[in-house]
Structure 1
Amino acid sequence: MATAPDLSWIPFYEELATRLLDFKDDRHGLIALVLEAYEAVQMKVPKLDSTMPPADIDPFTVMGLFNKGLTWENRAKLAAALKSALGIEAAAPTAFDSIPLLNNQHATFYRFSNDPDRGDQDLEKLWILLETAVAYADGPTPEREGALAEAFDGAAAIKGVRWMVTMGLYWARPNVFMNLDSRNRWFVEKEDVPQTLKDATPREHGATVPSGEEYLQLCRTARALCGDPSSGFRSLPELSHLAFERSEEVNREKKLEQGEVAPDPVLAEPGPRYWLYSPGEQATLWDGVRECGSMVVGWDALGDLSQYGSKAAVLEALDAAADDGRHHHNDAGCAWAFASEMVPGDVVYAKRGSKRLVGRGVVTGEYTHDEEGPEGLRNLRDVEWTDAGEWDWPGEGRMPTKTLTDITDNEKAVARLEALIGASRLAQGAPEASAEPELDPYTREDFLADVYVTPERLDDMEGILRRKKNLILRGAPGTGKTYAAKRLAYEFMGERDRDRVKVVQFHQGYSYEDFVEGYRPTATGFELRRGPFLELCDAALEHPDEPFFLVIDEVNRADLGRVLGELFMLLEADKRGVHLDLMYSRESFTVPRNLYVVGTMNTADRSIALMDHALLRRFGHVELEPAFASDGFRAYAEGLGSDAFDRLVSVVQAMNEDIAQDEALGPSYRVGHSYLCNLTAGERLPAQLREVVEYELAPVAREYWFDDPGKAEGWVAEMRGALA
């Protein structure tokens, strides 16, 4: 069920629309106040015309200044500045639930003055539309309705406006006018809403903007359904919010459906990914994307890239759309990465050709598709461009020619790039870039919803960490130990800060040189390099008031005494702050008091010797059980709504009882709940369940009872039968 939207923004938006009408005959005065607002918050004025400042402006473009791809913080700052500049009494909004946004590349309701498609009366039509809309909304009469319908038709015919006209009317009077952006049209077409609303609403794709008369009839139909139990919404803003939340949910399901995007790769190194990006051939789009704070890719023929469940599906669609006999593997990979792999916080380097770089930025938004955007600018993400200039590519050879390339694994090139652009920034006297996205809070409730343990078990984990600073999560395969370890770090910190969590995986060959420090070969000899443990300790020492976490997966696979060497003793809580000399560099070193270590141990792994007593006493130990009976797992199962899933869970629980009673196995070998997590409701669920049984659970049963194949195949048959 959708969360209740925060609609406290409505009074401000309505008063802003009314106040703007005072400037219908004083556009220059309005432009001056807009520039004053931007100066007050020290934000760069976006390009509003071919020459700046613009000679003219319309009211909807003014409202759109803070209703596009900006962070909520910047939207709130700009709204507050406009409140002050325009003398608005209503409180400036700090929440923007259910508000449709403009494409940053298509954020004016008019074509620029040097565009041949700009009509002489285009801006005047938009002012008339707002004037007639406010009059009708505040006191509807047949005469006012006729004037508004005529004004709607005139504004909708302006080149490039189309559905944006309904967004502007919704901003001005959200309880009267229905927003018909692509999300709302999709929602009404696809979801369970009354048929009268479906019949009156244009379809998501291929529909033409309705006439003013048809649009006002649609608004009446939608308002009549507000509060009707069959509709699911009590107001037009609630309808818009439902459309947004449901479309986001569907997009996530599609990305996860084929298993190509993990919900949260637990073992991935924390920190951003790094990308090379070509803003058009020879960077022809660079000035535009930098001005608008975005990055765009082409492939308009594919439509919304989030509709594809896999890279293979993108490739199939590209090959069909191009119909040129070529195989578009690279383009498909770029399109898939742009929509499904890139995340906020990633770093992007804009390039020109294969030898020159022109900018650096940080991704701040999710992928969006603007069906009404200009050609070639419909697939986009918001980016805060931190740097612009000219730099030679510091990597080996030439840069790839693809539109988008992940270079995260090219650590040498990334380090050189960051040093090169950082040095340029300092040489110009500019401050260090700080385009870090706001961290998402992560609460106790979030942990208990994500990790299927009891509140009492979470209390135990936290207590051990505070007292001993070192914790080991033990358990059978599939009990979600590493998943729980990382989220325990987030819960302890109160936010999802990946920069303060480092995940390493131990193995039998892991050594002090890998973990702490050691000599590594270079082109000219050997150099001493710090390992992940020292790097994390260095960061923790620089920020002593913030907790840092080292997560060691399979902690008992390596000899921790050999891996830590002389630092083994310093892990103890009462030895934090004590200094010892490192083996190679001989520098004085201590394990910070704000560093916490969480290890995981698979108790069913026969290849691992028991941990020695010296290590055991330095850690607290918590056993994670299969959580099929937990409240969290039950809620997850209810969300799937599948009888076959419920039957399979019952079979696995029965098999676990058999495993626990088997003298050769025992409770440590029970099957964990994570085998059955991360499944998605819908048409793909039966296939997913079959894959789990055939390729994950059946091999486990055959491995456990390798000496009793009859029993193994009996349980496999039980699991298959649960799905029949």
Structure 2
Amino acid sequence: MSELHTPGESGIIHYWKIAPGEDAWQWEDCRENGFIAVGWDEMGDVSRLGKSEFESKRMALDSRYEGWNKVGLEQLWKFAHIKEGDRIVANRGTTDVLGIGTIVGPYYFVHDKDFGHRLPVKWEEIKPGKVSERGWRRTLIELDREKFERIYNAIVSPPPGENGYSKSYWVFQSNPKYYDLAGAINELTEITWAVNQYKKQIHAGGRVYLWESGKDAGILAVATVLSDPDYISDDDKDKKFIRSGEKFSEKGLQVSLHIDFVLPERIMRKDMLDHPVLRSLEVITFPNATNFAVTKEQARILNELIFALKRPIYSITQCAEDTGFDLATLERWVRAIKRKGQAVLYGPPGTGKTYLAEHLAKHLIGGEDGFEDLVQFHPAYAYEDFIQGIRPVSDENGGLKYPLVPGRFLEFCEMARSRRGTCVLIIDEIKRANLSQVFGELMYLLEYRERDTHLAGGGTLQIPENVLIIGTMNTADRSIALVDHALRRRFAFLRLQPNHDVLRKYHQNTDFSVEGLIGVLRRLNIQISDSHYEVGISFFLREDLAEEIEDIWKMEIEPYLDEYFFDRPEKAEDFWWDKVGREILA
């Protein structure tokens, strides 16, 4: 990333408290339509007035309107000159914070509306909170950064004990002389990290910005802390990225990290030095450490920088071209996913369900700052893994403690709230887990997406509007008929069958002629005589199929047929390689 956006012409972020009308009467309109407004409508549009012209107009109107005065009207002048990038706290009286947002454009005036002086605002998704600010009696007050951060932290962070954990933010630093961070995050999904500072403050559930020092110092990835600091055994997968064994010979406290997002281009330290908030990051002001605390406001800005990177546009036409599926069918499926909010791609083995889900997700997030993630369900997968649950960890005295830790879906939703674009969660093999147990309260929210609900372990959950879910289900593993009615009602079900045109398209530019293979597959699926168990085409989507086809057939297709025709072995034998190989290769 070559440069960072510096808010305002002066490069300084200002912070403001603005009341949306007496007793916040206009707040719902402000929140729903993305603006903040003040009165004194009789002044009209002040965007083109100089200060002397403004004062002349004010003085002419002072005597006509009771309660008007220079101090009051000075608030309108300040309001009209608030800059893009400035931060806003919307309040009701001296005790209620209704919203927090960022100015995203210049002042404008609406002639036919009450409170027509307006600023466009991107409001954050937060719940109202309580403060005690006796001085908040005027419509507009400028706040200093420290006060804003105290308010922001109090509102955004759950109070201790409400959820059992409090969200924290950290920078973890590595030295390229000793560890290949870039290599690790591009190959592994989980890594371990030393905890040398903040040993009592770092806990499971915290968000970490992974930083590499050196001449190209900056942030490479975002991760989630999976465990409290403990003495963790070495992972052989992680060892290959260690460049100095001597540096890692002493074993101390470590945490496990899940790599959530790898930046396509690192955020450089040199670009942060000019940013009014990020230049005070601990890793910049005191870099000689491993672990650094990050304030909520710094984290918010980092999230905006990291997740504002727009994904390339991936059209549905290109999706059809790449997958081989019919364009009209894909368009219908995309409409269904958007309408319902969640869908399941189901079909027999080898029909490309996961492959198609990933391409549909790529289309849905294209052109915006959204993202996709994939989680695979299995019989041991539980509510505690997906939503939230307590996880035993060792403390520094050798005892056990049981913090409440967010699961994959809560983490996904939190990341999605920091984006404007669509975010897609792919749940692979969705029916292999006990969905009623894994989803818990989510079953209710999938049907009533605009609502929120209390979680069993504390706190609340609401699915962000920009979240879509795509599941995949192998009908040979568990038939569609076994899907309970509650799940069927909440998801759109999109059926995939073996599509031989996809196979033809894939091998247009390879040296393998697929017509013989397609003929055998058609006869085989007639013998199977059950659409849930047909043999699909994804086994054969390989550029080197000519060299691999015999091994694929003997080691993957024949064992599947032996299992399916266990009571009719002669039918399986009819399709052994020795009998069909010549036809396939013809």
Normalising by structure 1, we get a TM-score of 0.42
Report 1:388-467 matches (<5 A): 412=256, 423-425=282-284, 432=302, 439-467=311-339
Give, as a single letter, the amino acid of the residue that structure 1 aligns with 2:539. Y
Do the aligned partners of 2:446 and 2:490 also contact (CA within 8 Å) in 1?
A: yes
Residue 541 of structure 1 aligns with which residue?
Answer: 417
Q: CA deviation at 1:718?
A: 3.7
Residue 654 of structure 1 aligns with which residue?
Answer: 523
Residue 575 of structure 2 aligns with which residue?
Answer: 715
Tell me, in whole angstroms, the C-alpha distance in 2 between the residues paired with 1:514 and 1:534: 10
Q: Does 1:673 align with 2:537?
A: yes
Residue 504 of structure 2 aligns with which residue?
Answer: 634
Distance 1:404 1:479, change over 3 A: farther
Q: Does 1:687 align with 2:547?
A: yes
Do the aligned partners of 1:576 and 1:591 also contact (CA within 8 Å) in 2?
A: yes
Report 1:243-258 matches (<5 A): none
Tell me, in whole angstroms, the C-alpha distance in 1 between the residues paired with 2:414 and 2:377: 21
Query: 2:428 is matched with which residue: 549, 553, 557?
Result: 553
Query: 2:454 is matched with which residue: 581, 592, 596?
Result: 581
Do the aligned partners of 2:212 and 2:219 also contact (CA within 8 Å) in 1?
A: yes
Do the aligned partners of 1:652 and 1:719 also contact (CA within 8 Å) in 2?
A: no
Q: CA deviation at 1:343?
A: 5.1
Q: Which segment drifts farther, 709-718 or 512-521? A: 709-718
Report 1:30-429 matches (<5 A): 279=177, 360-361=211-212, 385-386=217-218, 412=256, 423-425=282-284
The structure whose residues are more often strand, as a share, is 2
Do the aligned partners of 2:503 and 2:540 also contact (CA within 8 Å) in 1?
A: no
Describe the SS at the equivalent of 2:575: helix
- CA offsets, 1:294-331, max 9 Å, x none? x9xxxxxxxxxxxxxxxxxxxxxxxxxxxxxxxxxxxx
Report 1:476-555 matches (<5 A): 476-494=348-366, 500-523=371-394, 524-543=400-419, 545-555=420-430
Do the aligned partners of 2:192 and 2:255 also contact (CA within 8 Å) in 1?
A: no
Residue 319 of structure 1 aligns with which residue?
Answer: none
Do the aligned partners of 1:350 and 1:360 also contact (CA within 8 Å) in 2?
A: no
Tell me, in whole angstroms, the C-alpha distance in 2 between the residues paired with 1:534 and 1:348: 21
Q: CA deviation at 1:276?
A: 7.2
Describe the SS at the equivalent of 1:593: coil
**Number of residue pairs matched?**
347
RMSD: 4.6
The structure whose residues are more often helix, as a share, is 1
Q: CA deviation at 1:685?
A: 4.0
Give, as a single letter, the amino acid of the residue that structure 1 aligns with 2:338. R
Do the aligned partners of 1:513 and 1:531 also contact (CA within 8 Å) in 2?
A: yes
5+ residue gaps, structure 2, are 7-171, 195-209, 221-228, 249-253, 263-268, 270-280, 288-293, 395-399
Normalising by structure 2, we get a TM-score of 0.51
Do the aligned partners of 2:189 and 2:258 also contact (CA within 8 Å) in 1?
A: no
Q: CA deviation at 1:500?
A: 2.3
- CA offsets, 1:431-456, max 9 Å, x none? 85968887443222331133232112
- CA offsets, 1:463-506, max 9 Å, x none? 11121111111101111111211221111121597x72222222
Q: Percent identity?
A: 30
Do the aligned partners of 2:379 and 2:433 also contact (CA within 8 Å) in 1?
A: yes
Give, as a single letter, the amino acid of the residue that structure 2 aligns with 1:542. S
Distance 1:657 1:538, change over 3 A: same
Do the aligned partners of 1:474 and 1:621 also contact (CA within 8 Å) in 2?
A: yes
Distance 1:404 1:473, change over 3 A: farther
Tell me, in whole angstroms, the C-alpha distance in 2 between the residues paired with 1:482 and 1:686: 24
Q: Does 1:469 align with 2:469?
A: no
Tell me, in whole angstroms, the C-alpha distance in 1 between the residues paired with 2:193 and 2:449: 44
Tell me, in whole angstroms, the C-alpha distance in 1 between the residues paired with 2:507 and 2:255: 42
Residue 202 of structure 1 aligns with which residue?
Answer: none
Higher relative contact order structure (alpha carbons within 8 Å, sequence separation ≥ 6):
2
Describe the SS at the equivalent of 2:441: helix
Q: CA deviation at 1:342?
A: 7.6
Describe the SS at the equivalent of 1:669: coil
Tell me, in whole angstroms, the C-alpha distance in 2 between the residues paired with 1:634 and 1:438: 34
